[in-house]
Amino acid sequence: MSHKHLLETEKHWLTRKGKAFLSDRVILHRKDLHQDLGDYEWMRVFLYSILERDVEENVAKLLNTFWVCTGYPDASIWPNHVTALAATVRSTPSLSLMAGMSVSEASIYGRRPEVRALDFFYRAGQHCDAGGDLIEFVENEKAAGRTLYGYGRPLANSDERVPFMLAKAKEFGLDGGRHLQIALDVYAYLNETYGFSMNVAAIHAGLAADVGLNCQEYQLFMTPCFISGMIPCYQDARDRPEGSFFPVRCTNIVYNGPAKRKWGN
């Protein structure tokens, strides 16, 4: 390989995605942003931006509930906590929310479990398509030491979003898909065998697979999903005295390192 192909894009970027013709119009995936998409709900534009296609009304409504049901205005939740810390030291709204959003791409909650859960259900489906058994697939994953994302929950042993999402999926006529059923079957097995609970990541991923999102599309779609919960946490800390959001006294750093010693000259 070499630098030669860089010469092609040094001064020219040919794209099919879109372009802003300033003072004229804006094209997004073959549609005029103001003429064709101007009456869309923002969520529909967001989905169109990711998927390059319109989704059906019930799919958009279902995906909208993913965001609605995960925006918790509770400053104990880690991304919100970061936002509140930014507010208590009087950082700006954008910096505070972006800091919270960036830590949403975590391993014990947020983007990694979501992506891994979606990938898990797609692979489980492929395994079954090839004549394999679902339980065998689950056990193989466990035996490989892999976390079964979507099952168990770090801070609680049940998830209030699960019944909410199942009801919404039913309401929008999207509760009959194959991957949602896989998610429920895996839960039934893991609960019966190991006492595992199920969290919303499993339900969301099963539904995301059933409406045809791939892992990248799903990761992009979910990226801002906690933000409506971060905003009240920002405002709350912003409106209280500076530095007053859960201050930590010196003695609440519990030190377990080396004993005191001299550096010297």
Partner 1 sequence: MAKEYQYHSNIWLEEPEPSNPFAAKACFCSGYDVHSDVIPNAGWFEYLLLLFKGERPKKQDTALLEKLAMVLANPGPREASVRAAMNAGVAQTNHSSALMAALAVGAGQYGGAQELSICITLWQECQFDITRWQERLLNPSNDERADIWLPMEHAPGFDPNGDATPTPILQSLELLAGLAPANGALAWLKASRQALELHVGYPLAMSGLAAAALVDLGMGEDQGSMLYLMLRLPGAAVHALEQKQVGWKNFPFYGPAIELEEDAFPGSKDRKGEHK
Please tell me the distance from the alpha carbon of residue 91 to that of residue 237, in angstroms, as a whole number: 11
**Shortest distance, position 246 Cβ to partner 1, whole Å:** 7
Binding pattern to partner 1, positions 203-222, x when CB under 8 A? ------------xx--x---
What's the full length of the chain, in residues? 265
Cα distance between residue 107 and residue 222, in whole Å: 14
**Would you count residue 138 as binding partner 1 (CB under 8 A)?**
no
Q: Contact letters (x/-) for partner 1, 101-130, by CB under 8 A?
A: -x--x-----xx--xx-xxx--x-------
Pair 197, 161: CB distance under 8 Å:
no
Distances (CA, A) of 20 to 15, 28, 31, 32, 34: 12, 9, 12, 10, 11
Q: How far is the CB of 208 from partner 1 (least distance, A)?
A: 12
Which of the stretches 59-67, 86-94, 163-171, 176-184 binds partner 1 when contact is defined by CB under 8 A? 86-94
Q: Out of 8, 34, 36, 183, which residue is the one contacting partner 1 (CB under 8 A)?
A: 36
Distance of CA 134 to the CA centre of its chain: 25
Collapsed DSSP state (helix, strand, coil) of residue 25 = strand
Site for partner 1 in 234-263 (CB under 8 A): 246-263
| Cα-only R_g, the chain | 23
How do beta strands 18-21 and 25-28 pair? antiparallel
Give the Cα separation of 204 and 149 in Å (integer): 11
**Smallest distance, partner 1 to C-beta of residue 96, A:** 10
Binding site for partner 1 (CB under 8 A): 1-3, 5-6, 11-22, 27, 29-32, 35-36, 91-92, 94-95, 98-99, 102, 105, 111-112, 115-116, 118-120, 123, 146, 154-155, 215-216, 219, 246-265
